[in-house]
Amino acid sequence: MAGVKGQVQKRGVERRRAMVDAAIELFARQGVRGTGVAAVAERAGVTPSALIHHFGSKDGLVRAVLQEADRRALERLSASPDAEPTLEQAVEWFVRDAEHTAAAERELAALHTTLTAENLQPGTLLHTWFRDRGRALRGHLTALFRRAVADGSARPGHDPELLAAETAAFLEGAHLLWLLDPERIDLVAVHRGYFAGLLARLRP
């Protein structure tokens, strides 16, 4: 019985993953507002009632998609043993992440941009989620720049919060330009160029 139960659970996990993957693809292409539950279910090869059974609602599915995007990013980040990376380690990670995004995660990147645009106004479903996510990113970057000054890898005199906002703006903007014109914009090269310039500007 335990083996049968394990197989059932495994199928459930695989079915849930298929639904999330289908949602990522359709949300990125059509936007969340333009994509119905029935379309996602059809793409995943399940019934709409099965999808609702797993996620409760379309809003639940959207949140599951965002959680999956975070899970993938954290999985890549966890390859580094350093809980608090140095400035150069962080730069290396951002470039590697750009390489991964360009090679395998275009749909997730497009979805992130689409959902951000759809939730710019306060009161929309995910406005608070994206606002807080942005604040958290800038907070991590601010701490990174402060550590860099403390360990001597960056010279003092720069505003860490301003540097954090600048870097976050670059990350968002670079992805948007690449998504709009991938034939002309080399996401990885743009990352390498920006961060090389940033390191040169900050080095003692």
Cβ pair 135, 127 in contact under 8 A: no
* pLDDT digits 0-9 by tens, 172-186: 999 999 999 999 999
Whose CA is closest to 117, among 182, 179, 183?
179
Whether residue 157 has pLDDT greater than 60: yes
Task: Please report the pLDDT score of residue 165 as a whole number.
Answer: 98
Cβ pair 26, 110 in contact under 8 A: no
Residue 93 structure tokens: 């990670």
Q: Is the pTM of this model over 0.85?
A: no
Q: State which H helix or E strand residue 178 sits in.
A: helix 160-180
Task: Please report the pLDDT score of residue 67 as a whole number.
Answer: 84
Cα distances from 141 to residues 21, 63, 96, 192, 195, in angstroms, run: 30, 25, 17, 17, 13
Please give the single-letter amino acid code of residue 198. Answer: L
| Summary mean pLDDT of the chain | 89
Could you tell me the domains of the chain? 1-68 (1.10.10.60), 80-204 (1.10.357.10)
Q: Give the rounded percent of residues in the chain with a pLDDT score beyond 90.
A: 62
Q: Which residue has the tokens 């000054």?
A: 149
* pLDDT digits 0-9 by tens, 85-102: 899 999 999 999 999 999
